[in-house]
């Protein structure tokens, strides 16, 4: 079997650079999505899985959330935190409010370069940890959020998602059960940031750590697909080791620099292009896959 490469990008949503100076996909061809489409010039069969937050809400976390974390863990604290969260703006980037964005993605999906998968509902946890939307939520709340997220996907004209990337890498038993309940069979739930790997390496980074860093593996009845190579900091040596071991090269990136460094930028994409070109010299034509095809 030819060496497999998957490329997943978190935080895709309709936010554009005119909104707050950061393009999360809303700039369409003129922004990061255009940069990704341009990768076809060098790698005509490249595939990119876009993990989309269907109701992305940017809510700056008030300072006292972290200052009073201990207090907020108590029931009255949780109610207080929720009342604050309700007052913040919500739903500006809901898919249904951005038909041009949705149509652009659907058109590119038909051409095969993009597949559209799920990255939470709004990426906001009202209780404690801003990006970890599902941390500490009950099964009922997890179910409710996954159902709402899938409904927004369908309303936007997207297919039912088959893969879930957890916002902020926050995973829980309740979330995994909610995904099973809602017929989502795969998670992109582990990121490995080691500088080198072998066939038996476990994932050493955020998300699940009890799973292989190189191979798909079952976790609580779902198939975990590893993410193991960083768009910005990934080196050729590690990519070579992964493919030599027969593993999947799981390129990991984010749409924009919002608390992360591996955003879609020309420099970071150049790192990927250089490494893929070297790998093709050593391993022959790479086989690109979407997460849903693993």
Structural contact between residues 11 and 24, judged by C-beta atoms closer than 8 angstroms = yes
DSSP assignment of the chain equals -PPEEEEEEEEE-S--HHHHS--SSTTGGGSHHHHHHHGGGT-TT--EEEEE-TEE---PPPHHHHHTHHHHTSHHHHHHHHHHHHHS---TEEGGG-HHHHHHHHHHHHHTSEEEEE--SSS--SSS-TT-TTTT--HHHHHHHHHHHHHHHHHTTPPPP-EE--GGG---HHHHHHHHHTT--EEEEEE---S---TTPBP-SSB--SSBSSS-EEETTEEEEEE-EETTT--HHHHHHHHHTT--EEEEEESS-SS-S-B--HHHHHHHHHHHHHHHHHH-S-EE--GGG-
Minimum distance, C-beta of residue 100 to Zn ion, in the bound complex (Å): 23
Task: Report in angstroms how near the CB of residue 167 gets to Zn ion at its nearest.
Answer: 5
Nearest distance from residue 133's CB to Zn ion, in Å?
Answer: 9
CA 216-256-37 angle, 5° bins: 70
Cβ closer to Zn ion: 10 or 23?
Answer: 10
C-alpha span between 176 and 227 (Å, rounded): 18
Task: State the Cα angle at 31 between 273 and 16, rounded to 5°.
Answer: 140
Give whichever of 118 and 213 is closer to Zn ion, judged by the CB atom. Answer: 118
CB of 97 to Zn ion, least distance (A): 20
Task: Enumerate residues 155-184 that contact Zn ion by CB under 5 A.
Answer: 167
CB of 80 to Zn ion, least distance (A): 25
Q: Which is nearer to Zn ion, 10 or 117 (CB)?
A: 10
Nearer to Zn ion, 264 or 276 (CB): 264
Which C-beta is closer to Zn ion: that of 11 or that of 117? Answer: 11
Q: Does 230 bind Zn ion (CB under 5 A)?
A: no
Smallest distance, Å, CB 188 to Zn ion?
11
* C-beta closer to Zn ion: residue 205 or 247: 205
Task: Name residues contacting Zn ion, limited to 3-62 (CB under 5 A).
Answer: 10-11
Tell me the number of residues near Zn ion by CB under 5 A.
3
For Zn ion, the closer CB: 178 or 256: 256
Measured from the CB of residue 34, what is the shortest distance to Zn ion in angstroms? 21
Pick 123 or 290: Cβ nearer Zn ion = 123
CB of 268 to Zn ion, least distance (A): 16
Main-chain phi, psi angles of 103, to 5 degrees = -65, -40
Q: Catalog residues that contact Zn ion under the rule CB under 5 A.
A: 10-11, 167
């Amino acid at each position: 079997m030819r060496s497999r490469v998957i490329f997943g990008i978190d935080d895709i949503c309709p936010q554009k650079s005119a909104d707050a100076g950061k393009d999360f996909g809303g700039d369409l061809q003129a922004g990061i999505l255009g940069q990704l489409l341009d990768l076809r010039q060098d790698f005509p069969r490249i595939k990119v899985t876009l993990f989309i937050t269907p109701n992305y809400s940017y809510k700056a976390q008030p300072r006292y959330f972290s200052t009073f974390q201990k207090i907020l863990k108590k029931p009255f604290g949780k109610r207080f935190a929720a009342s604050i969260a309700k007052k913040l703006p919500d739903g500006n980037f809901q898919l249904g409010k951005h038909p041009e964005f949705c149509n652009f993605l659907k058109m590119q999906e038909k051409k095969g370069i993009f597949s559209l998968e799920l990255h939470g509902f709004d990426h906001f946890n009202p209780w404690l940890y801003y990006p970890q939307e599902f941390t500490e939520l009950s099964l009922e709340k997890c179910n409710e959020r996954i159902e709402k997220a899938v409904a927004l996907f369908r309303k936007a004209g997207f297919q039912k998602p088959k893969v879930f990337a957890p916002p902020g890498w926050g995973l829980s038993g309740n979330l995994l059960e909610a995904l099973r309940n809602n017929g989502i069979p795969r998670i992109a739930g582990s990121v490995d940031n080691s500088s080198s790997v072998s066939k038996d390496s476990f994932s050493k980074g955020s998300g699940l750590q009890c799973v292989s860093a190189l191979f798909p593996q079952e976790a609580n009845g779902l198939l975990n697909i590893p993410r193991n190579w960083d768009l910005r900091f990934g080196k050729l040596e590690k990519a070579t080791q992964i493919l030599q071991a027969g593993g999947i090269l799981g390129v990991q990136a984010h749409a924009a620099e919002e608390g992360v460094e591996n955003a879609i930028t020309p420099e970071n994409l150049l790192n990927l292009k250089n490494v893929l070109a070297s790998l093709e010299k050593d391993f022959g034509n790479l086989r690109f896959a979407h997460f849903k095809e693993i």
